[in-house]
Amino acid sequence: MAHVQQTQSFYSLTLEAPSAPIAAVTCNAIPGLKSQDQQIFEARGQRLYLHRITENEDRTEVKVSTVLEQNVFGVIRGVTAFRIPGTATDQLVVASDSGRMAMFNYDADHNTLKQVHLETFGKSGIRRTVPGQYLVSDPRGRCLLLASTEKNKVVYMVNRQPDSSVRISSPHEANQWASLCFGVCALDTGWEHPVFAALEVDYAEADADSSGAEYERREKHLVYYTVDLGLNHVVKSWSDIVDYSANKVFAVPGGQDGPSGVVVCAEGRIYYCHDKSAPLSIPIPRRSGPTEDPQRTRIIVSGCLHLSKARHEFFFLLQTEDGDVFKLTLDIEEDAQGRKTSPPSGMNLKYYETFPVGKALLLIRKGYIFVAAEHGDSKLYHVNDLAEDLEFEPWNNFSSDSVSADPADPYTPTYFTPRGLVFTSLAVSRPSLHPLMKTKVENLTGEDAPQIYALQGTGNRSLFKTIRHGLEVSEIVSSPLGNIPFDNLWSLKHRASDEFHAYLLLSSTYGDKTIVLSIGDEVETMEESPFMTNRATVSAQTMGDATLVQVHARGVLSILESGALNEWPAPAHRTIVAASANKRQLLLGLSSSELAFFYMSEDGVLQQLEEMPEMSGKITAVGVAATPRGQKQAKFGVVGCDDCTIRVLSIDTDTPLEAKSVQALSDVPTSIEVVQMRDPQANTTIDYVHIGLASGLYLRATIDEVTGELGEVRTKFLGARPIRLFPVQVQSEQAVLACSSRSWLGYNHPQTSLYTLTPLVADQLEAARPFVSEHLRGMCAVQGQNLLIFSVEGVEGRLSSKAVPLQYTPRAMSRNPWYPLWYVVESEGNTLSRATKRQLIAAAKTKAEGQNGMKVETGEKNGVKTEAEDDAEAEELERHLGLSRAPGHWASCIQVIDPLATAAVSTIELTENEAALCTTVVAFESKEWEVYLAVGTGQHLKPGEPVTGDAPKGFVHIYRLSEEGRRMELTPFPTPIYALHPFVGRLAIGVGNELFIYDLGIKSLLRKTRGTVVPNLLTNITSQGHRLVCADVSESLTYVVYKPAPINRLLPFADDTVNRWTTALALLDYETCAAADKFGNLFVLRCPPQASSEADAPGLLPATAAAASSSSTSNRAGYLGGTAHRLDLRAHLATPDIATSLTRASLQPGGGDSLIVSSLHGTLSLLVPLPSRSDAEFFSQLESLLRLENPGVAGREHLGFRSAYVPVKGVVDGDLCEWFMGLKYDAKAKVAGELERESREVGRKISEARGRVAF
């Protein structure tokens, strides 16, 4: 096939995988663990995760650690886990958009998912009649069912073969024409035939009837599908009418454990249904309180079952859409054997807790509840009490007595008052970024790299986050060192075999002195120490068994264990400039370019090698490999000279100081460390040379064990200062800390096991060393004037963030051009505004006081105690419980956020049912470029409802940026305002399908010009010069040119040929735009050169001028109902996540610009322009070769996945290229062979492609 070369290709890279859970189940997939020790199998975006919960003995430290992360290159829709009788671990099943059922086993040896079965049952893609929307498995592990939203259901039976392989049957279909499936569950029938229950609606009659009467009579059925294992088929065995609003079903334990049957959850009510007993019903209690609508009903959104097989007891935890969790139990008579298997006589609910609304609620047998939160951080709660005591909070017990099970019968609603956590306590909160509403990339703090400012979350759990690439550092001690600047430090053990460090040497070249501290219970200055303190130390090390060696400029001091001192003076007129040592060998660099070598004999005395070879230039750094485990001496030392070279020398006592290899560098090496690190591929340790250069460049290379040649050189620019390197330990793994203008930690990432460099989020460090004492395990460092002892908490994540809580769902933000301040507009639909809420509470209080003057308990705000105390408490509780909902109401505010102080500086609440939708900071030319804040709002908006009657209106508010942020202007518009943009000293406003340019007058905004530019609704504007790019809600982008006075018109001149429901927009250059749509597509559009130059020519556009002369009054004279020209599509990529912000920026000093994409489910990704044609060819070739290696373990074809809506164009999937790193050795060699390259070289190119622009 001819390879068509694009003019520009992009390389797409994921920086942070999506954090939003799609589905999660508990499982026992890891072999050899107790059945209590359940794992969590979770799907997020296109990735599968297996998490483990680890805790220490007294459960004070709980961790959720990720064992496995696997990209399946497909949209995951559901997961389940089940145990086939007679097998040792659970089978994991994934439903995706592949039209296939993928079954996996966890392979502990290779830490991967091993595919057991991949069965095709339908077309690929997410379609109405292709199963995959619902996935359930039989509790006894005999079969599983996949269902689609309409018509199709497919059942697979699985069993274990005598050779312990898993056999799967051919698919059994249970299709029903014109039936919609609302929910599925697998009944627990004990060991009888498996039964699946489905909630179905048959629309055939409603569809055929033109009067609409049949539609009114529609019914929802609970249908049982029995899988007859003997006859090997699936039959519809029972069906009954249920409440029409039912949306979810849960299976009740059967067999010996319970009566079997299902719990059907409907709007406001929960039912128990089964073919063998009469139905039961219980209303879902509603929240009470003055700010709650007593008529509002809730639905159940998630739930889980707890079954104790030993005691034959069970209960459900069911969560409502408010986040309230209820414990559901059934009243069952015991039979003669003491089993509770007879039909239940009643249902009971008890209010348990309020958690964040979950996509999945998992009860883990170890005593935890995991909430895979729909929005915000997923949380693990420790269960202290399962609310078994009915005497506790008896007002929160509800029962089904005297409630009719007929959905048509009315019921008396029950009420409860939500409260804070009582039965559980928060154990772990997993940091997440979803839902990511907006991001901006700015450098407000003057750091090396810009920060990402993000709006995250919904409701009052929303956050304003400052995200940095870096590891969080927890500072343990920071103590001042005085006025002398110290530049290096060493932590030494007294004996080599000691566990803890005993001495800490701090050296100052400026003051030419060393201070010695002793490490014990406390770190104190040692007055009487054997070390030399009136000179700066060059290096210090514990050598041999217990000899302390201190190298200073004039000599080497060794302190034997007996206390005897040995001194080796430097040769006359020469000083020691660099030194490095391991347990036995010591290498010194002298000022005369000579190299001195010492070997420590068994008695702890240093023996000097007579020969002192001269190097080619002045020695600037030396490095000696650490003594390998089980050996006496290391093989190689590395010497760096100021002629920009490094030399590898043998330091073996047999061939001492024999030159092995030379490597030229781009600058003078300032620091060299040879560190043994684990090679993830071979699972052995190898020597790596880490080299820091004066230019701030960092290199890492391997040393060949035999020849001493350097290979596999990787480079990265770390900062503006010369680099100094320090070997450290992080989580008992070897790591390297590189100090430049930022400090970076180099380590093998625990999941990908790739070598990763991540900066530390801390001020600049001079030097750092490991620090292990009886109480602390971390690192010590010199930071400015302070001695810092700190630890790095975890190296799993690579981002750290600081958050400021917001009040409502954030919609947009804009920054102050002069100060590090952000203006965030927030609005929340169907929610009571703060003012209304206060009124209601005050009214309730006066009413209650007026009635009997008793102590009032009013739910969210209880009115005793002092007011300030009360307010703070109520606010905290409200944050936990969520906002009060009320249809038709809007709560909205504008907040000023100071990200440096991590606080909201000021808040303006909007009234009159307005919702702030967009904002921009604008400098008006007519006001001498004074800066104002413009906020676009909508009034009486109805989210998700068609506009009727009281049509929504819009306003633009103009605020003067002063201390109190006073509102100046309020200009009404006929429609809500979704887009605002500063435009050459004026304000561009999108009003419906029209674009307006406004100037600021004394009393209101003054209209300067207008033009109809898009077909439907303008949602986004960006501009450069007099060119504006406008995004329509559904019809892609339109390029508009503003012709200044005297023409003073807005003329659209180029638009797109396809519908694109644009969500985000960014200009890449004057002609090119990158944008994203609602279906997860990213695309780059470019204006044809002719159209571009025509638009910029003075006067009207040729097409418009022609139309004007032919007496048409419209300025939309164009071509085929659009503008005169069409945009070219340059690149297109489908992702499973919806991009909400696009920014062109450089994330790294020295790195080129790339397009930073942030998406709703918390993905941060990049589109990097590939710099050269050869790179573009290499990566697209690599991509097509890797596609053949079958990356989509869930069965989705990679090309199909990336071309879900439009064929992928001009974009190479970097995630797929990086998948190469995790391939097995022979697969790698095969791919590299096809590329006619070494597999190491391919690996280097892939990691460089990432390292060049991002982290």
Helix (H, G, I), strand (E, B) or coil at 17: coil
Distances in whole angstroms, Cα of residue 30 to Cα of each of 59, 108, 550: 22, 7, 50
Closer by beta carbon to other proteins, 205 or else 704: 205
Closer by beta carbon to other proteins, 359 or else 647: 359
Report the C-alpha gap between 889 and 833 in whole angstroms: 7
Among 82, 104, 156, 182, binds other proteins (CB under 8 A): 182
Choose one: 538-546, 563-571, 607-615, 1132-1140; the region binding other proteins (CB under 8 A). 1132-1140
Tokens of 450: 């810009």
Report the C-alpha gap between 411 and 1055 in whole angstroms: 57
Among 31, 943, 974, 1044, binds other proteins (CB under 8 A): 943
Q: Is 150 in the site for other proteins (CB under 8 A)?
A: yes
Among 143, 157, 187, 357, binds other proteins (CB under 8 A): 357
Q: What is the 3-state secondary structure (H, E, C) of 1126-1140?
A: ECEEEEEEECCCCEE
On whether the CB atoms of residues 609 and 656 are closer than 8 A, the answer is yes
Report the C-alpha gap between 123 and 80 in whole angstroms: 21
Among 269, 359, 438, 1049, binds other proteins (CB under 8 A): 359
Helix (H, G, I), strand (E, B) or coil at 365: coil
Closer by beta carbon to other proteins, 227 or else 1134: 1134
Site for other proteins in 445-464 (CB under 8 A): 458
Report the C-alpha gap between 675 and 634 in whole angstroms: 11
From the CB of 971, what's the least distance to other proteins, in Å? 25
Closer by beta carbon to other proteins, 434 or else 1196: 434
Site for other proteins in 231-290 (CB under 8 A): 245, 247-248
Closer by beta carbon to other proteins, 519 or else 812: 812
Distances in whole angstroms, Cα of residue 1107 to Cα of each of 1010, 1111, 1117, 1119: 18, 7, 6, 11
Q: What is the 3-state secondary structure (H, E, C) of 1191-1236?
A: CCCCCCCHHHHHCCCCCCECEEEHHHHHHHHHCCHHHHHHHHHHCC
Site string for other proteins, 818-847 (x = CB under 8 A): ----------xxxx----------------
CB atoms within 10 A of CB 259: 22
From the CB of 149, what's the least distance to other proteins, in Å? 4
From the CB of 212, what's the least distance to other proteins, in Å? 4
Q: Is 128 in the site for other proteins (CB under 8 A)?
A: yes
Residue type, 281: S
On whether the CB atoms of residues 31 and 89 are closer than 8 A, the answer is yes
Measure CA 669 to chain center.
37
Closer by beta carbon to other proteins, 321 or else 652: 321
Q: Is 226 in the site for other proteins (CB under 8 A)?
A: no
Q: What is the 3-state secondary structure (H, E, C) of 486-540?
A: CCEEEEECCCCCCCCCCEEEEEECCCCEEEEEEECCCEEECCCCCCCCCCCEEEE
Distances in whole angstroms, Cα of residue 16 to Cα of each of 166, 802, 831, 1059: 36, 17, 32, 29
Report the C-alpha gap between 104 and 97 in whole angstroms: 17
Those residues whose C-beta lies under 8 Å from the C-beta of residue 392, and which sit 6 or more positions away, are none
Torsion (CA) 515, 519, 520, 524 in degrees, nearest 10: 30
Closer by beta carbon to other proteins, 150 or else 1218: 150
From the CB of 1196, what's the least distance to other proteins, in Å? 14
Tokens of 347: 């249902």
Q: Is 340 in the site for other proteins (CB under 8 A)?
A: no
Q: Is 132 in the site for other proteins (CB under 8 A)?
A: yes
Location of structure tokens 């680099």: 723
On whether the CB atoms of residues 965 and 912 are closer than 8 A, the answer is no
Those residues whose C-beta lies under 8 Å from the C-beta of residue 350, and which sit 6 or more positions away, are 326, 327, 329, 387, 390, 393, 396, 397, 398
Closer by beta carbon to other proteins, 559 or else 1204: 1204
Q: Is 417 in the site for other proteins (CB under 8 A)?
A: no
Closer by beta carbon to other proteins, 129 or else 616: 129
Closer by beta carbon to other proteins, 1076 or else 1156: 1076
Q: Is 201 in the site for other proteins (CB under 8 A)?
A: yes
Asked if residue 946 has a cis previous peptide bond (ω within 30° of 0), the answer is: no
On whether the CB atoms of residues 849 and 856 are closer than 8 A, the answer is yes
Site for other proteins in 36-55 (CB under 8 A): 45
Q: Judged by CB under 8 A, how many residues of this single chain contact other proteins?
A: 62
Among 40, 64, 75, 581, binds other proteins (CB under 8 A): 75
Among 5, 54, 120, 129, binds other proteins (CB under 8 A): 129
From the CB of 1217, what's the least distance to other proteins, in Å? 23
Q: Is 1115 in the site for other proteins (CB under 8 A)?
A: no
Choose one: 198-206, 961-969, 1014-1022, 1245-1253; the region binding other proteins (CB under 8 A). 198-206
Closer by beta carbon to other proteins, 148 or else 507: 148
Choose one: 146-154, 533-541, 763-771, 1015-1023; the region binding other proteins (CB under 8 A). 146-154
On whether the CB atoms of residues 758 and 792 are closer than 8 A, the answer is no
Torsion (CA) 456, 458, 463, 465 in degrees, nearest 10: 0
Q: Is 1020 in the site for other proteins (CB under 8 A)?
A: no
Q: Is 321 in the site for other proteins (CB under 8 A)?
A: yes
Closer by beta carbon to other proteins, 183 or else 604: 183
From the CB of 701, what's the least distance to other proteins, in Å? 42
From the CB of 396, what's the least distance to other proteins, in Å? 22
Among 268, 283, 376, 435, binds other proteins (CB under 8 A): 435
Site string for other proteins, 204-223 (x = CB under 8 A): --xxxxxxx--x--x-----
From the CB of 709, what's the least distance to other proteins, in Å? 49
Q: Is 882 exposed, middle or buried (0-12, 13-18, 19+ CB in 10 A)?
A: buried
Closer by beta carbon to other proteins, 356 or else 863: 356
Among 94, 1138, 1170, 1223, binds other proteins (CB under 8 A): 1138
Closest CA to 1223 of 752, 712, 684, 687: 752
Report the C-alpha gap between 759 and 757 in whole angstroms: 7
Report the C-alpha gap between 1078 and 1065 in whole angstroms: 12
Site for other proteins in 1025-1084 (CB under 8 A): 1078-1080
Q: Is 439 in the site for other proteins (CB under 8 A)?
A: no
Among 1159, 1165, 1180, 1239, binds other proteins (CB under 8 A): 1159
Choose one: 107-115, 513-521, 621-629, 1158-1166; the region binding other proteins (CB under 8 A). 1158-1166
Rounded to a whole number, what is the distance in angstroms from the first to the last CA of the chain?
A: 35
Rg from Cα positions in the chain:
34
Closer by beta carbon to other proteins, 95 or else 349: 95
Closer by beta carbon to other proteins, 417 or else 827: 827
From the CB of 246, what's the least distance to other proteins, in Å? 9
Site for other proteins in 519-558 (CB under 8 A): none
From the CB of 20, what's the least distance to other proteins, in Å? 7
Q: Is 803 in the site for other proteins (CB under 8 A)?
A: no
Q: Which residues bind other proteins (CB under 8 A)?
A: 20, 22, 45, 75-77, 97, 126-129, 132-133, 148-151, 180, 182, 201, 203, 206-212, 215, 218, 245, 247-248, 299-302, 321, 357, 359, 374-375, 434-435, 437, 458, 809, 828-831, 943-944, 1078-1080, 1136-1138, 1159-1161
